[in-house]
Chain A
């Protein structure tokens, strides 16, 4: 179909932006594949072990932006041992040896060393944007290298990383000539910061739109910063504590009035509730509010704040808001699209403060809701059925009842029907996390109705292999399946082995799969890496019937990885 010259095709492809669409385009014919790959600038790699840096570089010579994900999702919850893998170093080495002019690197759940950051900063001359989410392995020394060497740096965004703090000196490493910063987020840093350097940096960054401070930045500095950067759109406060009768606080009140562009607000890592009135004037403009780390704001102060945020589209909050507080959200935030309610008591020694009532209120008041993460004390089938009816537009529905296998407290029944109602009603559901007491029946419903489902997280659920089979058979678009503490064994694992090549990955831990079953799978499917995590030498070689504690399998073009530690067996 050579009707057009390549340049025209390329121009058309420019309008095809999403990764999926571009991937689809590249499959049409060889010509399109070639034009597409030569013009592709942004690539998303959901599993860094699915391919090698060399393959990536060879295929996309025009690469400007790379997103990489490393460890499996359950690594967030300490289910994956520390040295499992996910190192970014080989990628950075390969990129620095190539002619690729990478400008943006976004990493999630990867191990990043100072050495990697240093290499990156020195070898990629045009580097502009670094986003690290839930990564580890680096220190402020690596940050100093980025600050010092990336002359055109626009974005340094550190979200929830484990960073060793050696000194606040890294901020001073931004040279005076660096005036290009648009986004700076160091909220996750635990240590001290050179406040004067921070103020100077802000003062010489006229394009700064997003700034998220850490705990070490006091209110005085916030005041000074906002004076110089009233154009901010996204603000994360650090320590928000002061005497409300002081002059500094007074100044802050006036300064904030000028910050008419702030749409996202977060932080309050330390907070004196009596100082909250200073931010009231900007609440009406807010479309996104993250108070999930603001343990110091609760009760009536929290409600007072929320009542002013009528335009909120995204709200992240702690469960100390309570059902009553959620009712206020429901009556105030009519534009709400995404809600996350986190548990404030993660040691599990208290009671969660929200129940099914809060969720029902939200569903009734916020018809545009499409993304939910909800940690609660209990849930009923009746409530879920109402929620399903009120909000048929869910794309992401993640419910976590804090006590595993808890049934509907009113009927003492499993929550199969409730979740069944959700999947039946929400035809666009892409991500689902289940909890509470569940039998095989909920999986039957999921297999039958959740046609768009891409990611499913299951814990302490189901009665037999049938559960897993319903899902594998029914959910044609399934990409990621993660299961823990369920009675699924070899039969479930081996019935449809071809399925796994259509998926990114499968995680099963504390289930009933055996070593023999995993070996069989690995043998039949050479393009999968079937990894067994064998911590503390639990497993003996040769005994096929023993249960496998943790299995992670994923499709890959490059066979068993060479950086696997001793406790990871790739079968």
Chain B
């Protein structure tokens, strides 16, 4: 699973809530001086970086900046290599009102005629701290990274959407202090850490998603760290 390289491409998000792993130094470098290539200008994005490989650790500031420039050039010069699903701010040019309406409707209409199984795999997503839950169709994503990006966008306004956090140093405090751990409930009712199994298997077995915050995640975290080091 190419999580490392996808992270490089997506590295221009303004905020990254590294999922994690207390003690893993992944969140300290790089993000501060990020150039604003195509990142969200409105709400800050919460990038639920699924800590699935240790490749991203240790990527330094310059490298990140270079990757951003590269990504920008890629976008304008070489459409063939352009990741078909990369999110460019304000593109496609559709009013936010319309985007939001359609997103809400997708949830409810497909739910009402979700009899045809295999077409959709809707699961509830809860993020600790958010006032309400969302539903996502796992079948519309092809990888953990896509899911992570989409969830980040969905929940950004609840986590770091407040204007206070436009101040960069305050932002870093929040990033460093709260860790998000994605967990899911599987077919038999066990709560698992997201990312262990291949994506397709995950879509089949996931019944519900919960993004846990901070302290509650500690119980799972040591397991996560273990899995992480096994993965590389």
Q: Which residues of A contact B (CB under 8 A)?
A: 74, 76-79, 81-82, 134, 160-162, 188, 241, 269-272, 292-293, 295-296, 342-344, 346-350, 375, 400, 402-407, 433, 437, 457, 459-460, 484-485, 535-538, 549
Contact = CB atoms under 8 A, between A and B. Distances in A.
B109 A536 contact: no
Contacts, number: 118
Interface stretch (B60-68, B100-108, B186-194, B213-221): B100-108
A484 B76 CA distance: 12
Given A295-B109, A538-B36, A79 B95 contact: no
Given A78-B96, A404-B88, A349 B141 contact: yes
Given A82-B42, A485-B76, A535-B41, A76 B92 contact: no
A551 to B, nearest CB: 14
20 contacts: A77-B91, A79-B89, A134-B97, A160-B97, A188-B97, A241-B112, A269-B105, A270-B105, A270-B109, A342-B94, A342-B98, A349-B150, A402-B92, A404-B76, A405-B75, A406-B79, A485-B76, A535-B41, A538-B36, A549-B36
Contacts of B130: none
Given A292-B98, A404-B79, A485-B75, 11 more contacts: A77-B96, A188-B97, A342-B98, A346-B98, A400-B92, A404-B75, A405-B75, A405-B76, A406-B79, A460-B75, A460-B76
A17 B101 CA distance: 37
B85 A349 contact: yes
Contacts of A347: 87, 103, 140, 150, 153
Contacts of A82: 42
A566 to B, nearest CB: 10
Contact of B102 (A295, A405, A484): A295
A348 B79 contact: no
A310 to B, nearest CB: 28
A346 B103 contact: yes
Given A78-B42, A293-B102, A160 B95 contact: yes
Contact of A343 (B40, B92, B108, B150): B92
Interface in B17-46: 36, 40-42
Contacts of B92: 343, 346, 348, 375, 400, 402
A533 B94 CA distance: 22
Contacts of A459: 91, 93
Interface in B200-218: none
B105 A296 contact: yes
A157 B125 CA distance: 35
Contact of B90 (A79, A271, A433): A79
Interface residues of B, number: 41
A270 B112 CA distance: 10
Contact of B36 (A293, A375, A536): A536
B168 A536 contact: yes
Contacts of B124: none
Main secondary structure of the interface of A (DSSP, over half): loop
A76 B76 contact: no
Contacts of A405: 75-77, 79, 82
B157 to A, nearest CB: 11
B215 to A, nearest CB: 30
Contacts of A375: 92, 94
B91 A404 contact: yes
B146 interface: yes
Interface in B95-145: 95-99, 101-103, 105-106, 108-109, 112-113, 140-141
Interface string B70-88: 0000011101001011011
B57 interface: no
Nearest to A348: B85
Nearest to A485: B76
Contacts of B42: 78, 81-82
Contacts of A79: 41, 89-90
Contacts of A78: 40-42, 89-90, 96
B174 interface: no
Contacts of A292: 98
A271 B98 CA distance: 17
Contacts of B59: none
Nearest to A80: B41
A471 B69 CA distance: 28
Interface centre among B77, B94, B109 (most CB of A within 10 A): B109
Contacts of A400: 92-93
B146 A349 contact: yes
**What are the 10 tightest A-B residue pairs by CB atom distance, in nearest-first order?**
A77-B90, A296-B109, A160-B97, A295-B105, A346-B99, A78-B42, A405-B79, A76-B95, A79-B90, A77-B93
Contacts of A536: 14, 36, 166, 168
A290 to B, nearest CB: 12
Nearest to A76: B95
A536 to B, nearest CB: 6
Contact of B140 (A76, A272, A349, A402): A349
Nearest to A296: B109
Given A271-B109, A296-B109, A403-B84, A76 B93 contact: yes
A293 B99 CA distance: 10
A137 to B, nearest CB: 14
Nearest to B101: A293
A402 B88 CA distance: 11
Contacts of A403: 79, 82, 84
